[in-house]
Chain A
């Protein structure tokens, strides 16, 4: 009777009001500030819907609960996202500059350093690993690993931390990059390739990577397999309809479902606690360490190549495609407007995606 008279007003709590405020902030940041709007908007709306009292939307039999069981609990949505990401990714810069692959590996130090920090703070190893994977700066990988290892209570904060910091890469990275490089290093202009990438190389690469990555880290096979399958659809040139579908319809629909369902896990009782603050702090640490490691390895390559490699591109190894590559390019141009690093920075950037998928596979193989 009271429900009929007063609606859901009597059930509203301070926690729910706080979460609604957080949801509105996310929507504001996505819409007005353009911070990862494709993700923050659906996640924000998922948070809003899940915290409106007495609706039951996020319960197991509510529509968000049904979506969560269908695609998040069984890791389906992140894999479909990776299929779309693969179809959108051009591996040409990697094939043009093979040596930059190692920069993508160096930046994965952020994952394992933050794992150690989380353990030190007192998290158990499964949750610590899921928090550490924020350092991969790769949304689907983060969600894929965390849904298999972490408590459901921290799925939401981990995903939001990952996407928030990915959006904040242009703010987090530049001070570290300037601090660790000299002006002379930032001014290095890298040579452009003399040949185009052959069709056979572009088609062979994804197939070889699927086989090799699955042999090295078997648990990375779903992630790497989907990523490379998407890329194969793009490169073969005979299935344009499938390539376009994965680049547009599939990834767009999955983004909506993934964002809403991740947001629906962020209820007041799960989100408003000190654990969330710790996850955000460790996530920031992970991004910073990944940038430091990438830059330092970039400096090693700078000296090894006798000044031919600009160490700024090392920061692009943290994934966050293509934002991190753009940041490296912009910093180079800030020093000298004639410096063009975008193509070179895309190499470690894409290698970072591969490296984080393998790191996730190694963690899952050890713990899951």
Chain B
């Protein structure tokens, strides 16, 4: 075996050893950091003694119904499932409430209208009666192509 080959094998053995030692040291430091600076408990409806808590934290069980069946499985990644789940619910509720907020004025029929009807009315006015754009398709021009203006 040549001198260079020997040197290479020595380098490989030493290199792997040092990489393992370094990452082992990092691992111990990480355990120590977790010990010294423990983070807050993840928010959960369940209390600490409840054995179902682990189930709740596991993203597979986030959408469990009362009888334990998985009914709905979202397709997106959920790296922080508990937080994102609540955020989505909060967003949905906030949107719903803002749309349900009644107008301060009353229409001719004397009834108050919610944001939904106001938005529908605005959409009709904005579209000028044109057909709405299809989802994921190129919009149809509302303008005549002759004048080439948009």
Is A95's CB within 8 Å of the partner chain B?
Answer: yes
> Do B37 and A204 touch (CB < 8 A)?
yes
Bound complex: CA A354 to CA B25 (Å)? 12
Is A363's CB within 8 Å of the partner chain B?
Answer: yes
Q: With a CB–CB cut-off of 8 A, which chain B residues contact A338?
A: 60, 70, 73
Contacts A125-B7, A338-B73, A340-B78 given: A359-B19 contact, CB under 8 Å? yes
Q: With a CB–CB cut-off of 8 A, which chain A residues contact B34?
A: 95, 98, 201
Q: How many of chain A's residues touch chain B, expressed as a range?
A: 35 or more
A193-210, CB under 8 A of B: which get 1 and which 0? Answer: 111111111001100110
Q: With a CB–CB cut-off of 8 A, which chain A residues contact B8?
A: 115-116, 119, 125, 128-129
> Do A358 and B18 touch (CB < 8 A)?
yes
Nearest 6 interchain pairs by C-beta: A112-B12, A98-B30, A200-B37, A105-B23, A198-B39, A196-B39
Which residues of B line the A interface, CB within 8 A? Answer: 4-5, 7-9, 11-16, 18-27, 29-31, 33-34, 36-42, 53-54, 57-60, 70, 73, 77-79, 81
> Do A111 and B15 touch (CB < 8 A)?
yes
Complex: chain B residue closest to A196, CB-CB: B39
Q: Chain B binding site: helix, strand, loop or mixed by DSSP?
A: helix
Q: With a CB–CB cut-off of 8 A, which chain B residues contact A340?
A: 59-60, 77-78, 81
> Do A112 and B58 touch (CB < 8 A)?
no
Bound complex: CA A287 to CA B122 (Å)? 57
> Do B23 and A104 touch (CB < 8 A)?
yes
From A128, A201, A338, name the one whose CB has the most chain B CB atoms within 10 angstroms: A201
Segment at the B interface, from A30-38, A162-170, A211-219, A243-251: A211-219
Which residues of A line the B interface, CB within 8 A? Answer: 94-95, 98-99, 101-102, 104-105, 108-109, 111-113, 115-116, 119-120, 124-125, 128-129, 189, 191-201, 204-205, 208-209, 212-213, 216-217, 329, 337-340, 342-343, 346, 351, 354-355, 358-359, 362-363, 366-367
Bound complex: CA A355 to CA B4 (Å)? 25
Bound complex: CA A111 to CA B11 (Å)? 11
Contacts A95-B30, A340-B78 given: A213-B37 contact, CB under 8 Å? no
Contacts A204-B37, A212-B22 given: A363-B29 contact, CB under 8 Å? no
Bound complex: CA A328 to CA B15 (Å)? 26
> Do A102 and B23 touch (CB < 8 A)?
yes
